[in-house]
Amino acid sequence: MISGSNGYNKNAPPASQPGFKSPVKLGGAINAPNDPITNTNTYMGYKFFSFNQVQTFSNGVAACTAACTAQTAYNSRHPPKAPAKPSVCNQAVVYVLSQNNQPQGIYSSMYSEEWAPNYATNYGQYRGSGYWSVSSAYAYTNGTYAASYGPICAVGGCPSGSFRGGNCGGYGAGTC
């Protein structure tokens, strides 16, 4: 027993990842609408890593940011028809996905633009009789992208440095 301790502990945030700015703690997973200016979908898909694959949360974070980087490389090698530009994974949202309170693994959603924490409103959902929940959610944003652009935020309480949208993702110059 530790004198003065009431038994609480706080987990440290996951480590920074090469090429990404420090993680931002989120209340849930990002529930991103289309970009408010261009009406384009910035969602690029997801990757799921079971704990059998990654063993720990920190290994899952590394796998997710590597998957984001790999998706950008794949898209650049397989570009869409001109004038469209390949999508760049500029934000990976990493979290533990649980079914009925049993952790299943690490889930990573990828986006071509960074979304503000205000959009982290997906805490879980029912699928049939099972409840799938989100915990330990963090956003990792590509460091090069973050140096030029802030997060999209077109709702109340936006963080400073955010913008209302505009196609900043991809290899082309955006209108932000």
CA atoms within 13 A on the CB side of 89: 26
Residue 6 has pLDDT above 80, yes or no: no
Q: For 99-125, how does the pLDDT look when each residue is reduced to its tens digit (9 = 90+)?
A: 999 999 999 999 998 999 999 999 999
Lowest mean pLDDT among 99-103, 107-111, 131-135, 144-148: 144-148
Residue 25 has pLDDT above 60, yes or no: yes
pLDDT confidence bin for 58, thresholds 50/70/90? very high
Please choose, from the candidates 29, 65, 73, 27, the residue with its C-alpha nearest in 3D space to the C-alpha of residue 47.
65
Count CB-CB contacts under 10 A for residue 140.
27
- Predicted pLDDT of residue 85: 82
| pTM of the predicted model as reported, rounded to 2 decimal places | 0.86
Please choose, from the candidates 98, 36, 113, the residue with its C-alpha nearest in 3D space to the C-alpha of residue 68.
113
- Predicted pLDDT of residue 172: 42
pLDDT averaged over every residue in the chain: 86
Query: In the chain, what are the helix, strand and coil shares in percent, each to the nearest 5?
Result: 20, 30, 50
Count CB-CB contacts under 10 A for residue 48.
15
